[in-house]
Structure 1
Amino acid sequence: MVSINFVGDIALFKIFEEKGIDPFKEVNLPQSDYNIGNFEFTIPNNREKHFFDVSGNYRTSYNFLKELQLNKFDAFSLANNHCMDYGAAGCKDVMSVLNQKKIDHFGFGKKNFNLLTITIKGVSFAVIAFVKQGRWNRNQDQKVGPDSYQVNEIIDEIERLKQTHNHVIVFPHWGTELVDVPDPKDVTNARAFIDCGATAVIGHHPHIIQGIENYNNGLIAYSLGSFVYVPEKEVGYSILQGESRNYSICLNLKFNSKSIIEFESFIYKYCKNSHIPKEIDKTEVEEYLNKINKNINQVGSYSKRVREQLLIREVKSFVHRFKDSPIKTIIHYFKYIKFSHIKKLIK
């Protein structure tokens, strides 16, 4: 039997360095053979920011990064919407530190897909990470970047990998921030990934827990929430976002060579005083967890939650950006807001 822990976003806010906190040292994980998380922020070595609106709160110094006990984790995905905040060179700076500490990384490179392939106790795994489309994707100027959410390519890759690995795990950075109902398109695609051979689909990015379901002998966790994260330092944060964003899941999966034989969701709660997630008794939030599991198939609930939560945050974010750089902010929103975003609000 092989045991692997999965957590969501790990974001090294500046406040950790200001207070001398090593979140990796302080956090406690369930016992396992291997730990995987999403490395959310780029920590560059003296690089200029690549996008005009990158917050100075979203990074520690490079020297501080090198001193952290990153080895609490065995592998990090780099496929997320912040990986290009300081260009490809900034992400390579992070990769250099991980290489020095002999920590695996995946989801970032010259082309789809930069995989994590491991064998533990004779059981082989391939892990695919990717991020939805945005300004962080590879382009003519940036030849290197995160692996991309291209459904047909992902399905082809799962089918190929399944021929040579016991398990294929999909670890996507997707969904809608602050919305505890998965995007209906992600539900459809997650099930398609299981249908074509993936053992599990384990998502992150929304900064909030979304539901978990068993599907066709596989497991889908749509969002684990943010694991190491300081929400009050986030651009657009409001106390109106509620208590639910303080919870996250460490998902422990136990495998044999053929399937998942057991899984357990360990619930963590963000402690505002220490800025560290602490494990809690999940019976404290059992009613909430049952509710979000039921919401998986409620398409109407998704648009309602987008209107209730995301719209407020985006207005606050717009005001924050506009104060710093009015023209660039207007250009940014006109460039990246699509009709699909409007549809999410009015359905």
Structure 2
Amino acid sequence: MSRHRRAFLAAVGTAASAGCTAPMAEPTAFEDHERHETTIGFAGDAMLGRNVDGRYRRAGVDPAGVWGDLRSRLASLDGVCCNLECCLSTRGERFPDRTYYFRADPEWAVPALEAGNVRFASLANNHAMDYGQVALRDTIDALEAGGIDRAGAGETPAAARAPATVSIGDVDVVVVSFADHYATYAATEDRPGTAYVRMDPNDPETRRIVGDAIDRANATDPDLVVASVHWGPNWVEYPDDRLVAFGHWLVERGVDLVHGHSAHVVQGVERYEDGVILHDTGDIVDDYITKEDLRNDRSFLFEVGLEGGTLEELRLVPVVIDDRRVDRADADAAAWLQETMRDRSAPFETTYDRDGDDLVLSL
């Protein structure tokens, strides 16, 4: 059992013995996790800007409220990795001319990420530069001050492409992060930006850039190599053949787990060779309008259980996003998510066991 989990269980026990009436996790929130030496949560887009920022930046509002009744589950994990779909700053000008711009005040957003047990945030996406260079630098500084590791953006192309090393529980994790949109946001030698590449395994430049990052990640002999990738268009339920091939190439190149995001809806899970590909992890919190045909307000927390640094189990915990917070899904929403994920994973011949509302995949 990791030091983090021992501390969490001790805190729960102390609260119970003191007669504390604050909400606590139901037993499965940590009993399930005790099956594994280390359990890491992978979540999709965390968009803390716009109306989410408007609510939680107000005086007297608890930033932890953004996680709703999922917070105890997140806290019981050894750590959480997500895509940060906004910048953390109160400065800067909109860049470039486009429709949506997302930023959150780091004064509340960093404590919120900490309350959600976020240990790593990918900045390789199409919103990290929404308010220009100054806001990107503020984002990096804010995460560093909060002890949250990041990758996928930096002062130069080399810095943006550099892997992040994160100790989560008893596992050494190295993450490389890349995005396929937008080229306008790409870091250059003269301007900070994101790690942009064309996600095509047949592109020589992509193979060179991403292959070098994966080699650097593996050179440290970590327990787990993760590629956190912002790929493909929005509102698409199944990845196209090119992205599937790119995910396969990542695993062949030395990645253990592909953490995909961008579509705003969950896509299927694939086991390929010795790796696992989460084609899209959807969203974890936002203020987006719900598309009734896609139900982008329904998603999963993807929990990976490891033994001795080896992938053993993937557990999909159903969640719903509503009123600028995330909560555990009710029975109807969970049933819809179970059926949907089974359908979207069928092309990869992935089947799941059911454990209550969760879907479970033995690795």
Relative to the length of structure 2, the TM-score reads 0.72
In structure 2, C-alpha distance between the alignment counterparts of 1:111 and 1:139, rounded to whole Å: 6
Matched, 1:18 2:58: no
Tell me if the contact between 2:46 and 2:286 (Cα under 8 Å) persists in the aligned partners.
yes
Determine helix, strand or coil for the equivalent of 1:244: coil
1:291 counterpart residue number = 343
Matched, 1:157 2:208: no
CA distance 1:104–1:25, change in 2 (3 Å): farther
Tell me if the contact between 2:285 and 2:325 (Cα under 8 Å) persists in the aligned partners.
yes
1:112-161 per-residue CA deviation (whole Å, 9 max, x = no partner) reads: 4222212345532211111114221124652x211223344223332443
The code of the aligned residue for 1:129 comes to: S
Determine helix, strand or coil for the equivalent of 2:296: helix
1:97 Cα deviation after fit: 1.8
The code of the aligned residue for 2:186 comes to: N
1:264 Cα deviation after fit: 0.5
CA distance 1:67–1:202, change in 2 (3 Å): closer
Q: Between the two proteins, what is the percent identity of the paired residues?
A: 22
In structure 2, C-alpha distance between the alignment counterparts of 1:156 and 1:257, rounded to whole Å: 26
The code of the aligned residue for 1:59 comes to: R
1:343 counterpart residue number = none
Unaligned runs of 5+ in 1: 233-238, 298-347
Unaligned runs of 5+ in 2: 1-36, 198-205, 350-363
Query: Counterparts in 2 of 1:207-246, with a 5 A limit?
Result: 207-232=264-289, 242-246=293-297
CA distance 1:260–1:24, change in 2 (3 Å): same
Query: Counterparts in 2 of 1:80-119, with a 5 A limit?
Result: 80-109=125-154, 110-112=156-158, 113-119=161-167
1:3 counterpart residue number = 39
Query: Counterparts in 2 of 1:36-75, with a 5 A limit?
Result: 36-53=81-98, 55=100, 58-61=102-105, 63-65=107-109, 68=112, 70-72=114-116, 73-75=118-120
1:318 counterpart residue number = none
1:295 Cα deviation after fit: 4.3
CA distance 1:54–1:138, change in 2 (3 Å): farther
1:255 counterpart residue number = 306
1:266 Cα deviation after fit: 1.1
In structure 2, C-alpha distance between the alignment counterparts of 1:136 and 1:198, rounded to whole Å: 25
1:59-101 per-residue CA deviation (whole Å, 9 max, x = no partner) reads: 3445554664544212211111111111222111122222222
Over the aligned positions, Cα root-mean-square deviation in angstroms equals: 2.4
1:193-252 per-residue CA deviation (whole Å, 9 max, x = no partner) reads: 1122211111001101110011112111100001111112xxxxxx65524211222111
Q: Which region of structure 1 is more displaced relative to structure 2, 26-35 or 175-184?
A: 26-35
CA distance 1:167–1:245, change in 2 (3 Å): same
The code of the aligned residue for 2:65 comes to: K
Relative to the length of structure 1, the TM-score reads 0.75
In structure 2, C-alpha distance between the alignment counterparts of 1:18 and 1:252, rounded to whole Å: 30
2:14 counterpart residue number = none
Determine helix, strand or coil for the equivalent of 2:150: strand
CA distance 1:22–1:12, change in 2 (3 Å): farther
CA distance 1:69–1:132, change in 2 (3 Å): closer
2:254 counterpart residue number = 197
Query: Counterparts in 2 of 1:151-190, with a 5 A limit?
Result: 151-163=207-219, 164-190=221-247
Matched, 1:276 2:325: yes
1:154-191 per-residue CA deviation (whole Å, 9 max, x = no partner) reads: 23332443242222111101122000111221100111
In structure 1, C-alpha distance between the alignment counterparts of 2:274 and 2:342, rounded to whole Å: 21
In structure 2, C-alpha distance between the alignment counterparts of 1:121 and 1:47, rounded to whole Å: 36
